Amino acid sequence: MYNFFQLTNNEWLKLAKKKSFFIAFLIMVLMPLGIAVVIKNFLDGTELGYVEFMQSVVDFNGGGSIYVFLCMIYTASIVSSEYQFGTIKLLLIRAHSRSKILASKYAALVLFVVALMAFSLVVSFLISGLFFGFQSEGSMIDVWKTVGYTLIYTFIYSTIIFMLSVLTKSTGATIGITFCLVFIEGLVTMLLARYEFAKYLLFFNMNLRMYEGGGMPIIEGMTLGFSITVIIVHLIAILGLSFYVFNKRDVS
């Protein structure tokens, strides 16, 4: 277990040493700052508490879409960059199994996603207080719900990108395929919503917000428990394929 934590720490340090690493955190400062400036100066009379502001920053249907895309971009290079720069061979000659190496990369990815979200929450809270004060009619429970929905959505796409990074060995191809998936997600959902089998597809279960407040699901028969099960099964399959390919691939 210690070796795994050490490997994960090494992967985290690899990310942190890249100049681009801090760009993601800088963007998550500039984005809420820009939103606050626009609201304060151009939307007179807008009453916005810190809860509503924080939700607007982290909601994947709002400002949080930038957070999701940042996580996607960083995920795309976590494995493929090792192939492109030839450092994958150096990793595999160590006294660690391929599965443990790949698992440490995924663990570092999870840390990055969570760390960037935590940073975004702190920054949005401080900026909201600076521009609008620390009062709100909303509840922090609403913020945590929004965080949960965004994290689930982000982890799903990050896991898909992680698999694509292993399969394609190309950062550019991984990002390109992922952006195509994001853009066709709504179209696929609209076209296939009439078919019963579609409820077993990942796209139809990614947005758990549809169940909030007793909301109706996209397809009759879907429930919160059903969607969570579908997500878990798909993630296991996606990670399983990633590990299988990574273990079998010849890197000589």
Residues of the chain with pLDDT under 50: none
Q: 187, 218, 185: which is closest to 203 by C-alpha?
A: 185
Q: What is the pLDDT of residue 221?
A: 82
Enumerate residues 6+ apart whose C-beta is below 8 A from 21.
15, 74
pTM: 0.89
Alpha carbon distance 104, 90 (integer Å): 15
Burial pattern 21-60, b for ≥16 Cβ within 10 A else e, equals eeebeeebeebbeebbeebeeeeeeeebbbbbbbbbbbbb
Q: What is the pLDDT of residue 85?
A: 63
Amino acid at 92: L
Domain coordinates in residue numbering, the chain: 2-248
Structure tokens at 42: 């151009």
pLDDT tens-digit series, residues 150-194: 999 999 999 999 998 888 877 788 888 888 888 888 888 888 888
DSSP states of the chain: -HHHHHHHHHHHHHHHHSTTHHHHHHHHHHHHHHHHHHHHHHSTT----HHHHHHHHH-TTTTHHHHHHHHHHHHHHHHHHHHHTTTHHHHHTSSS-HHHHHHHHHHHHHHHHHHHHHHHHHHHHHHHHHHH-S--SS-HHHHHHHHHHHHHHHHHHHHHHHHHHHHH--HHHHHHHHHHHHHHHHHHHHHHTTSGGGGGSGGGGS-GGGGGGGPPPSSTT--HHHHHHHHHHHHHHHHHHHHHHHHH----
Alpha carbon distance 69, 219 (integer Å): 27
Structure tokens at 86: 């030839």
